[in-house]
Amino acid sequence: MTMIKGKRAVLEALKTGQPVTRVYVANGAQDHPDIQMIVSYASQVGALVSNMTQSQLDALVKESNTQGVVATITTKKDMLLSELVQKNHPILVVLDHLEDPFNFGAIMRSAEQFGARGVIYPKDRNATLTPGVIKASSGAIHYLDLVRVANIGNAIDHLKREGYWIVGTTVSEGQALESWAPNYPVALVVGNEQRGLSHRIMKQCDTLVTIKTSGQLDSLNVSVATGILLHHMMCRMDGVCCDS
């Protein structure tokens, strides 16, 4: 079983038919419209609803900020890479060992919003699917195909054999984003918050892309950069130029 927390994450799980088995609501939160909607959906799917104190609710998950609601859900089954490829998603996201749970969740949210229906991430040295990650995704996890692999490099080789164009991100050495026209299907590879893409992964990329900035900081947060790149890719796929 997996614990999920936060109004949006729990509501999206119920709305998308995920196997929610129980919903826990903090005393005093029952009158909030979102909580009332969650309780209504829970009753429709036969999930048990229990009331408890806020401290009891916080004790159910390691991270705080539950927004007054926690739920248990049957653990989402990771998809095999071969199964993902068969779905022919035009845009995929590959994570090269992200460590920050918020970035992991925020990238899944951007992926869902901008047409990337599959996310591939490594088993080791990467943030895992904690309640905090699921909350940061705002429920996007329930709409995505997730693939957890032992080796990201081998996964990229598999995608290349299946016809995917591999694009990586770099701070200053790549093609300017505004002049880059993606080839589809495409897999966007984003790197670690501190180290960026590993040397091996960078060599596997067909193209490296850089986002032009004008500030004093040396780079964008990885989840922000991923959102910008995915928006560009979605617009280009739809034949709409979003560049200024």
Query: Please, what is the end-to-end C-alpha distance for the chain in angstroms?
Result: 47
What is the per-residue pLDDT across 116-137, written as a single tens digit (0 to 9) for each?
999 999 988 888 777 778 888 8
Per the structure, the complete domain to which residue 33 belongs is given by 2-73
Mean pLDDT of the chain: 89
**pLDDT tier, 244 (very low <50, low <70, confident <90, very high otherwise):** very low
CATH code: domain of residue 8: 3.30.1330.30
Each residue of 226-235: pLDDT tens digit? 999 999 999 8
What is the rounded distance in angstroms from the CA atom of residue 90 to the CA atom of residue 163?
A: 11
Yes or no: say if 6 and 140 are a contact pair by the CB < 8 Å rule.
Answer: no
Looking at the structure, tell me whether residues 231 and 118 fall in a common domain: yes
Which pLDDT does position 217 carry in this prediction? 67
3-state secondary structure of 187: strand
Task: Tell which of 25, 50, 73 closes a domain.
Answer: 73
- pLDDT for 76 equals 67
For residue 59, the tally of other CB atoms under 10 A from its CB is 11
* β-strand partners of 147: 120
DSSP conformational letter for 17: T
Last residue of a domain, one of 73, 97, 124: 73
The answer to whether position 243 is within a domain reads no
CA distance 129 to 75: 10
Q: How far is the C-alpha of 195 from the C-alpha of 201, rounded, in Å?
A: 12
Query: How far, CA to CA in Å, does 171 sit from each of 36, 51, 181, 193?
Result: 46, 49, 18, 12
Angle between helices 33-45 and 7-15 (to 10 degrees): 30
Number of H helices, E strands in the chain: 9, 11
**Whether residues 88 and 176 fall in one domain:** yes
Give residue 131's pLDDT.
Answer: 78
Single-letter code of the amino acid located at 65: N
Residue 2 has a pLDDT of 82
| Count of domains for the chain | 2
Shared-domain flag, residues 222 and 140: yes
Q: Name residue 196's amino acid.
A: G
Between CA 155 and CA 202 the distance in angstroms is: 14
Q: Final residue of a domain: which of 57, 73, 89?
A: 73
Which residue in this structure is represented by tokens 């979003």? Answer: 242
pTM (2 decimals)? 0.80
